[in-house]
Amino acid sequence: LVPTKPSKTFEQTITLILPKVFIVILVLGVLWGLKVASDYGYFSDSLKIVLSYIGSLALFAIAYWMEKKQKGSMQVALMLYGGAFVVGILTTAAGAILYNVLGLYAALFIAFIYIGYGVAISYVKGTESLTALVVFTSFLLPYLLEYMDFNSLIIVAYVVLLFGVLQLVILKYQQKYALYVGTFLSVLALVITAVSAANDSIIYPVAISGVAAMFLVVMLKLFASLPAKHIAIHAGFIFSLLMYILLAVNIAVLLDQTAAFVSLSLLTAACVTVAFTAKKVEQRMLFDVTLSAALLTFLSMIFYFDTSYAMGMLLLFVTVTAGLLLANRLRMVFMQAVYSFLFA
């Protein structure tokens, strides 16, 4: 018999949650304190930035000391490592954009150092909450790049490369939720910068499809490790995320038929490939989800060559019906409620 993992007690759950709450309060407290001091004229903008960097280094030093001396909770130390990263990134963005204290290229250099630190600490420590924190903060950098008027290729290359590097951490420690967060934020960053640029570049939608392909390949590797009782929940997450990606591609193409054809073809091919690979390794639920997404993506591509109102309503009807049927198959109450509302 396979031994079952003992369920966490209420005290153990609180012990895991409190360090995360603590670091959020600490970071917000430091930022609020600096703002109050600035409002009363105690600190100049330059001094605020310097003090913030000192605070970031202090958080790292305290975390390192706690770990080496085995003082206090390891969870607290991990959150302090993450806090050092968050404070450093936010300070760099504020120094470059809000206060104009840092030169843009100096800020970019410092930001890359912090992101390298964040990825490294995630890889070494292997904690999903720390990885998710690093992912969330790292995807703020594309907005700095866009503010600096970098061309589309550099912004896209940064997002795709960062997402790809983070898969090393996610695969090593099987961090499924960090994968969901990373996929959501990387696609969001690409959509926002695509809309802001408004230059009809095919790079953005193709990059979104590339991120989706990486997500599907990694998810295929992780799917077998899911507990049986959670498979339906994750299948619902995957389908919803693929629909979000499909929406993002449709926004990013900016009604360009060529961009739509190329990016949606890539997304369809990725979904079909993973679907039949999943069937080969007997992951039936993943097969259902990805094949349904492939069908809807293909229909969306057809829409670009027939933009009539009737075709649009047909596409909406098929999408909602497929989502409702899949929700019923997975027995996902939330998905059933959402797609039933849309169907009505």
Residue 341 near residue 242 (C-beta atoms within 8 A): no
Terminal-to-terminal C-alpha distance of the chain: 47
Joined tokens for residue 131: 């990885």
Q: What is the pLDDT, as a whole number, of residue 29?
A: 74
Residue 252 near residue 190 (C-beta atoms within 8 A): yes
Residue 344 DSSP label? -
Alpha-carbon gap, residue 148 to 146, rounded angstroms: 5
Alpha-carbon gap, residue 198 to 108, rounded angstroms: 24
Joined tokens for residue 50: 């310097």
Angle between helices 203-223 and 231-252 (to 10 degrees): 170
Alpha-carbon gap, residue 110 to 129, rounded angstroms: 24
Q: What is the pLDDT, as a whole number, of residue 1?
A: 42
Give the residue from 267, 270, 265 showing the smallest Cα distance to 305: 265
Taking the CB of residue 17, how many other CB atoms lie within 10 A of it?
Answer: 12
Q: What is the pLDDT, as a whole number, of residue 2?
A: 41
DSSP string, 14-74: HHHHHHHHHHHHHHHHHHHHHHHHHHTTSS-HHHHHHHHHHHHHHHHHHHHHHHHHT-S-H
Q: What is the pLDDT, as a whole number, of residue 113?
A: 96
Residue 282's Cβ-count burial label (10 Å; 0-12, 13-18, 19+) is exposed
Q: Per residue of the chain (344 residues), what is the pLDDT tens digit?
A: 444 555 666 666 676 676 667 767 776 776 677 667 667 777 788 888 898 899 999 999 999 999 998 887 788 888 889 989 988 998 898 888 878 888 888 999 999 999 999 999 999 999 898 898 899 889 888 887 887 788 888 899 999 999 999 999 999 999 999 999 999 999 999 999 888 877 667 999 999 999 999 999 999 999 988 988 888 889 888 988 998 999 899 889 877 888 989 999 999 999 999 999 999 998 988 988 898 888 888 878 877 776 566 666 776 677 677 777 777 776 666 566 666 666 65
Angle at 167 between CA 164 and CA 168, to 5 degrees: 110
Q: What is the pLDDT, as a whole number, of residue 181?
A: 94
125: enclosing H helix or E strand = helix 104-125
Residue 30 near residue 16 (C-beta atoms within 8 A): no
